[in-house]
Amino acid sequence: MYLYSLTLQRATGVVCAVIGSFSGRDSKKSGGSSSSSSSTQEIAVARGTTLELLRPDPETGRLRTLLSVDVFGAIRSLAQFRLTGATKDYLVVGSDSGRLVILEYSPDRNRLDKVHQETFGKSGCRRIVPGQLLAVDPKGRALCIAALEKQKLVYVLNRDAAARLTISSPLEAHKSNTLTFSLTALDCGFDNPVFAAIELEYAESDRDPTGQAAEQAQKHLTFYELDLGLNHVSRKASEPIDNGANLLVTVPGGGDGPSGLLVCCDNFVLYRNQGHPEVRAVIPRRADLPAERGVLIVAAATHRQKNLFFFLLQTEYGDVFKVDLEYNNDTVSELRIKYFDTIPVASAICVLRSGFLFSASEFGNHALYQFRDIGRDVDVESSSATLMETEEGFQPVFFQPRALKNLFRIDEIESLMPIMDMRVANLFDEETPQVFTACGRGPRSTLRILRPGLAISEMARSMLPAEPIAVWTVKKNINDMFDAYIVVSFANVTLVLSIGETIEEVSDSQFLDTTHSLAVSLLGEDSLMQVHPNGIRHIREDGRVNEWRTPGKKTITKVGSNRLQVVIALSGGELIYFEMDMTGQLMEVEKQDMSGDVACLAIAPVPEGRQRSRFLAVGSYDNTIRILSLDPDDCLQPLSVQSVSSAPESLMFLEVQASVGGEDGADHPANLFLNAGLQNGVLFRTNVDMVTGQLSDTRSRFLGLRPPKLFPCIVSHRQAMLCLSSRPWLGYIHQGHFLLTPLSCDTLESAASFSSDQCSEGVVAVAGDALRIFTIERLGETFNETAIPLRYTPRKFVILPKKKYLAVIESDKGALSAEEREAAKKECLEAAGVTENGNANNGDQMENGDEDGAEDRNTLPDEQYGYPKAESERWVSCIRILDPRSRDTTCLLELQDNEAAVSICTVNFHDKEHGTLLAVGTAKGLQFWPKRNLSAGFIHIYKFVDEGRSLELLHKTQVEEVPLALCQFQGRLLAGVGSVLRLYDLGKRKLLRKCENKLFPRTIVSIHTYRDRIYVGDMQESFHYCKYRRDENQLYIFADDSVPRWLTAANHIDFDTMAGADKFGNIYFARLPQDLSDEIEEDPTGGKIKWEQGKLNGAPNKVEEIVQFHVGDVVTCLQKASLIPGGGECLIYGTVMGNVGALLAFTSREDVDFFSHLEMHLRQEHPPLCGRDHMAYRSAYFPVKDVIDGDLCEQFPSLPADMQRKIADELDRTPGEILKKLEDIRNKII
Amino acid sequence: MYFSNILLNFDNDAAMINLPFVKASDRFNINSQLEHLQAKYVGTGHADLNRFEWAVNIQRDSYASYIGHYPMLAYFSLAENESIGRERYNFMQKMLLPCGLPPAERDDD
């Protein structure tokens, strides 16, 4: 089996982010005076294995993705630097490649170029290979890259005569047996660069059995100075520091500030510098924090402007503090920490000069905030001056989180991180199945419904008197910015609406309104044309109307036009061609009889600087499309013919203008594509030779059950195409690729582009008797999502097939139960002296209520503030029945007594007394540390009541371990209880044990069944294949895996095959060899005799691992499903970082050969950006086997043209054919 | 003691020839070569490595790997319901004494 791996939705979580002027472009062309303050800023974001550049748009306040590159390696750290006097920043990437990579963004070609790549060690995330920590001298003269232990390398950065960046060979600053917690560079102006690190030496404690050395182990703040003259790094000073230190933040220096460092420690922030006394302030604590917990700073950002700087530090609970320093020259006298605001916990925060704060949430959606103030008001503040030390230690300062005061959220970037569970199903009876994902953590948990396609946002919707058949928009003048009229055609009338402040009907437009229209468009510079069945009405700018009438009883059936040319088809199959002459008159030029009726017509747009377009496409009912010439010398003569599978319904030429660079991408040669919607629902796309009119490189794709109708529209300033079949699709160019993506809305009848004051790039469409205006959002994304809030971290969910409801189990460790939270909230409100206004805290509220929070500003939405922390051994949990259609929670059972739900399944027991029941496995008092421990496990059996909307507890059975896996099997319930596999039957008061097997190595985490086989996944030991013998009532293992796999997800593929994913980010398939499988099936004892013999404490048979692939992300869910109607099934996976991908099995050997060769060439010619070898990355834990990386193959179109040709030659194909292959295989998946 | 036995065995062995950069005159150097490796690559074992040292190395490597692989860190922090930053800090702290205190020295004869 060969698989094609394709990422459908790239990881959405953020590992780290830095801000810089990577494009080096000035936002205002202010004549280069102080270019550093006016250049635009971009945010470089590492999302696991992808590197992205985001740019906030100061006008709309939205973040736009400029570029997203898959680097095939784990990005661990980012830093930005600028050479003195330069205007552009470089990006330094520390990854698992054992290499240091310096990248430069070239805005013209929209790509990141590798400037330097320095190898220093082995690849992989190792303890002593640098890459985890990165620091750059603020003046861009040196950088230091460090490992967690021992190694630190310093590179000197400089420039050569041609002003190119140069990098020195590394200088070592190693220290053995020393852990590095954090690394940063001091800002010391143009003195020698100094790096500072928090270090901890462990050599002593490793040798001392009494534990005294370990107790006395002391963290040190060590300064490394790079002597630029001697080209040497020296360990300048090493001073003891608070043992809770975890993070260093550079304090501006060199004239802008006192220089030195902020050292963030557990509970404290210190100011330190060489030879400066320590200035210490305590971090204010939330009043409700248990005493056992510390307060740790997890993210930091610095804001610098002239004569002012401050720091924003975020704690692990999400509170942001503003840190100010009181200083005089180099002496800091006071450090103040003031409560700023509370936003969700971030992995990185960045302050932009334009007054924005970008917060990359560690789980859940990221956000862009605008500063309303910089915390000048009075607020809870702790200062080094008022620090009180008592006998019990330093006196804490308390505060209560409040609503946002200094920040204001203006944009949100959706993030699926973490995907905890996923199901693909078509619960809404739509054309394509929906992907249900349980995402997020704690109060920010959501159930998200993903639908393939682009989201639309509707701006207006109005009802029309009848059902329209077509809609157009026209401008009055070619130079107008906005459209003037919307023209709607009904069966026998035409309605004209004028676009202004409002959209209203007008009657002075000169359009003929007593008949239906076939086409309405702008002709020439400033005249309008309306084509109706009996003629062409040409409305001149001064109001004169010229009318051309059809000869005799003939009527016009089809029209094709562009700005200067019009072709009509009369009934009977006669074509008449008109052209606009110099005086603006529409003149008949040529006539031609076609053999039969014309099905559709289209004229290519007039090329820039030409009088006319040369190509007319005519579709006929004999399943052909002809290209006719419109040149005066061979007018209406055929140039080429293409036969198609079905009669064409609609034709459209799409011109891709030649462009060099530009905002969105690489060079595009000019290209003309002919698109045809065929009656069998297929969109047919072919390339038209600009000179000869020959057709080549044809592609087709099934769009839906109705013949696609094609309409031009504008998307991000480019020509795009709307294809309206049983659902609408958009064909557009995004980052250099042509994409054809469905839109998430119902069937549309007709559409046109729409541009007005309020909405510059919209679409107006008619469907049923409604006129709709909408815009298309978030281009380039595969899925659009709808979120339903949940209460706690979702662990698993099942679909209840009959009612199409979802049953979700949610649980959180270390949180207070709902009642306790309510009580605490009440108390807090009372303490704040607020009179409670009833509706805020009504007890039966189902959601964690962001609506409530918005209504009542005094209640703090938990989504923003997080749940108050409880002691770490406390658990809260709930079981929820959710109707995904109405998004209503129909039942929510909060578990009591420290119980946490861990597994769920539906089960139908033999006796049909209760019908379908819900089994939920729970653990009471679960603890992970120092060893897994619990007071009891339970299996709850619930009955559905109230038509499946609600649950009623039938009974609860105690078990001795955590029941992590449940599954129905032959009318009974199989449960994996710790390391025991047990079969239960339903009793009156509890479940009855029927049979068990205790031979599993660790903990059972997954159970799948098929016929009489049971596939059991063990937490550490991969799959075990079992059988149940009914006559002897025995469960026994007949095969297992020889590889230890820390299973995180499992799915059943076929009778002999299981797909699994391990904790280290690998996906693999385990298959029982055919001969063994046959033998077991034929053996009357079912391999039992053999089993009794056993082999090396394991099963007698071993499964083979037939597929291996390193995804580079912890896969949490696997499912076999098909995302498109009629498409083949593929294995869909979801990961912790919010990545959704698919593995598709190849159906032909030829394709396997082709793609493996393409992959091989790309590996050679286009090595990954961050220096990791692609093959080594995909084989990080186990050698990659029989999986072709589609993400690498899809980088082919981004290669330079000559490289594409070279690879294509090697493969005996043309680049076009390769692109077609790539498109085809993608279309098979989504 | 045990270690030197191995070295003696090398003396007239074919294995000796396979070792690169070792000339007959350097044969007392092999010790220093191993030492060099041990100094350069933390965790390179030696013949007298005891169970505790071995385990400590494995644990430190594991923690370093958890910290390096962000998705894994996120996975742990989901289980423990801690922030990722706190989880990273905890793992760093655990690298000090990953397996508890070392066993008391015993005099192996």
Question: Could B71 and A202 be called an inter-chain contact, meaning their C-beta atoms sit closer than 8 Å?
Answer: no
Average pLDDT over every residue of A511-524: 91
Lowest mean pLDDT among A733-737, A1211-1215, B21-25: B21-25
Residue A27 has pLDDT above 60, yes or no: no
**Interface mutation target, options A127, A134, A182, A876, chain B, most CBs of B under 10 Å:** A127
**DSSP for A532-566, written as a single string:** ETTEEEEE-TTS-EEEEE-STT--EEEEEE-SSEE
pLDDT at A262: 96
Lowest mean pLDDT among A132-141, A833-842, A930-939, A1128-1137: A833-842
**Number of domains observed in the structure of chain B:** 2
Considering the domain boundaries, does residue B70 fall inside one? yes
Residue A260 has pLDDT above 90, yes or no: yes
pLDDT at A845: 43
Considering the domain boundaries, does residue B26 fall inside one? yes
- Please tell me whether residues B36 and B53 are part of one structural domain: no
d(CA A850, CA A854): 6
Spell out which residues of chain A touch residue B78, defining contact as CB-CB under 8 Å: 363, 418, 420, 441, 793, 1136
pLDDT at A329: 87
Confidence of residue A1143 (pLDDT cuts 50, 70, 90): very high
- From B77's Cα to the closest Cα of chain A, the distance in A is 10
Spell out which residues of chain A touch residue B60, defining contact as CB-CB under 8 Å: 127, 149
Q: Is the peptide bond before A930 cis (omega within 30 degrees of 0)?
A: yes
Question: Could B83 and A207 be called an inter-chain contact, meaning their C-beta atoms sit closer than 8 Å?
Answer: no
- Three state DSSP letters for A380-403: CEEECCCCCEECCEECCCEECCCC
Phi-psi category of residue A564: left, alpha or beta, with phi > 0 → left and psi -120 to 50 → alpha? alpha
The pair of structure tokens assigned to A724 is 């309206």
Spell out which residues of chain B touch residue A363, defining contact as CB-CB under 8 Å: 74, 78
Average pLDDT over every residue of A244-249: 96
- Please tell me whether residues B54 and B95 are part of one structural domain: yes
Task: Give chain B's contact residues with A (Cβ, < 8 Å).
Answer: 39, 41-43, 53, 56, 60-61, 64-65, 67-72, 74-75, 77-86, 89, 92, 95-97, 101-105
Considering the domain boundaries, does residue B32 fall inside one? yes
Confidence of residue A764 (pLDDT cuts 50, 70, 90): very high
Mean pLDDT for all residues in chain A: 90
Residue A555 has pLDDT above 60, yes or no: yes
pLDDT tens digits along A468-486: 999 999 998 888 889 999 9
d(CA A126, CA A146): 11
**Interface mutation target, options A133, A362, A439, chain B, most CBs of B under 10 Å:** A362
- From A1114's Cα to the closest Cα of chain B, the distance in A is 6
- Please tell me whether residues B90 and B52 are part of one structural domain: yes
- Please tell me whether residues B9 and B52 are part of one structural domain: no
Task: Give the nearest partner residue to A298 out of B60, B80, B83, using CB atoms.
Answer: B83
Task: Give the nearest partner residue to A13 out of B60, B74, B83, using CB atoms.
Answer: B74
Question: Could A202 and B96 be called an inter-chain contact, meaning their C-beta atoms sit closer than 8 Å?
Answer: yes
H or E element, residue B52: helix B51-68
Task: Give the nearest partner residue to B71 out of A316, A793, A1113, using CB atoms.
Answer: A1113
pLDDT tens digits along A846-869: 444 444 433 444 467 888 888 888
- Please tell me whether residues B96 and B52 are part of one structural domain: yes
Task: Give the nearest partner residue to B70 out of A15, A205, A299, using CB atoms.
Answer: A15
Note whether A1006 and A1020 are within 8 A (CB): no
Residue A1194 has pLDDT above 70, yes or no: yes
pLDDT at A517: 92
Note whether A1114 and A1140 are within 8 A (CB): no
Question: Could A363 and B96 be called an inter-chain contact, meaning their C-beta atoms sit closer than 8 Å?
Answer: no
Domain housing B4: 1-40
CB atoms within 10 A of CB A483: 21
Considering the domain boundaries, does residue B108 fall inside one? no
User: Which residues neighbour A980 within 8 Å (Cβ) at sequence distance 6 or greater?
Assistant: A961, A996, A997, A998, A1000, A1004
Question: Could A441 and B78 be called an inter-chain contact, meaning their C-beta atoms sit closer than 8 Å?
Answer: yes
Considering the domain boundaries, does residue B4 fall inside one? yes
The pair of structure tokens assigned to A148 is 């967690």
Average pLDDT over every residue of A1101-1107: 94
Question: Could B74 and A206 be called an inter-chain contact, meaning their C-beta atoms sit closer than 8 Å?
Answer: no
- Please tell me whether residues B88 and B52 are part of one structural domain: yes
Question: Could A48 and B101 be called an inter-chain contact, meaning their C-beta atoms sit closer than 8 Å?
Answer: no
**Interface mutation target, options B53, B62, B81, chain A, most CBs of A under 10 Å:** B81
d(CA A795, CA A786): 19
Question: Could A132 and B60 be called an inter-chain contact, meaning their C-beta atoms sit closer than 8 Å?
Answer: no
- From A787's Cα to the closest Cα of chain B, the distance in A is 20
- Please tell me whether residues B57 and B35 are part of one structural domain: no
Q: Is the peptide bond before A712 cis (omega within 30 degrees of 0)?
A: no
Q: Which residue has the higher pLDDT, B3 or A769?
A: A769
pLDDT tens digits along A419-467: 999 999 999 988 889 999 999 999 999 999 999 888 888 888 989 889 9
Spell out which residues of chain A touch residue B42, defining contact as CB-CB under 8 Å: 127-128, 149-150, 176
- From B66's Cα to the closest Cα of chain A, the distance in A is 9
Task: Give the nearest partner residue to A296 out of B69, B81, B85, using CB atoms.
Answer: B85
pLDDT at A361: 95
Spell out which residues of chain A touch residue B81, defining contact as CB-CB under 8 Å: 441-442, 793, 812-815
**Interface mutation target, options B53, B60, B70, B95, chain A, most CBs of A under 10 Å:** B70
- Three-state DSSP state, A164: coil
d(CA A505, CA A501): 13
Question: Could A131 and B97 be called an inter-chain contact, meaning their C-beta atoms sit closer than 8 Å?
Answer: no
Question: Could A793 and B61 be called an inter-chain contact, meaning their C-beta atoms sit closer than 8 Å?
Answer: no
Question: Could A1063 and B67 be called an inter-chain contact, meaning their C-beta atoms sit closer than 8 Å?
Answer: no
Residue of chain A nearest B81, judged by CA positions: A813
Task: Give the nearest partner residue to A128 out of B42, B69, B103, using CB atoms.
Answer: B42
- Please tell me whether residues B22 and B54 are part of one structural domain: no
Question: Could A813 and B80 be called an inter-chain contact, meaning their C-beta atoms sit closer than 8 Å?
Answer: yes
pLDDT at A1091: 63
Confidence of residue A759 (pLDDT cuts 50, 70, 90): confident
Considering the domain boundaries, does residue B107 fall inside one? no
pLDDT at A839: 40
Question: Could B80 and A176 be called an inter-chain contact, meaning their C-beta atoms sit closer than 8 Å?
Answer: no
The pair of structure tokens assigned to B103 is 């066993």
Question: Could A125 and B105 be called an inter-chain contact, meaning their C-beta atoms sit closer than 8 Å?
Answer: no
pLDDT at A848: 44
Average pLDDT over every residue of A527-537: 92
Note whether A472 and A766 are within 8 A (CB): no
Average pLDDT over every residue of A88-101: 95
Task: Give the nearest partner residue to A1135 out of B65, B71, B78, using CB atoms.
Answer: B71
pLDDT along chain B (109 residues), means of 10: 35 40 59 83 86 94 96 95 95 93 73
Residue of chain A nearest B96, judged by CA positions: A202
Spell out which residues of chain B touch residue A317, defining contact as CB-CB under 8 Å: 83
Average pLDDT over every residue of A393-398: 88
pLDDT at B7: 34
pLDDT tens digits along A174-211: 999 999 999 999 999 899 999 999 999 999 999 999 99
Task: Give the nearest partner residue to A793 out of B78, B84, B105, using CB atoms.
Answer: B78
Q: Which residue has the higher pLDDT, A812 or A739?
A: A812
- Three-state DSSP state, A55: strand
- Three state DSSP letters for A255-275: CCCCCCEEEEECCEEEEEECC
Question: Could A316 and B42 be called an inter-chain contact, meaning their C-beta atoms sit closer than 8 Å?
Answer: no
- The label of the residue with tokens 């005086």 reads A583
Q: What is the percent of chain B with per-residue pLDDT over 70, rounded to a whole number?
A: 71
Considering the domain boundaries, does residue B106 fall inside one? no
Q: Which residue has the higher pLDDT, A841 or A258?
A: A258
- Please tell me whether residues B1 and B21 are part of one structural domain: yes
pLDDT at A430: 86
Which amino acid is located at A187 in the chain? D
Considering the domain boundaries, does residue B109 fall inside one? no
- Please tell me whether residues B89 and B55 are part of one structural domain: yes
Task: Give the nearest partner residue to B70 out of A48, A126, A150, using CB atoms.
Answer: A48
- Please tell me whether residues B17 and B60 are part of one structural domain: no
pLDDT at A33: 40
Residue of chain A nearest B41, judged by CA positions: A128
pLDDT at A1161: 96
- Please tell me whether residues B52 and B33 are part of one structural domain: no
Kindly state the DSSP code that residue A454 receives in the 8-state scheme: B
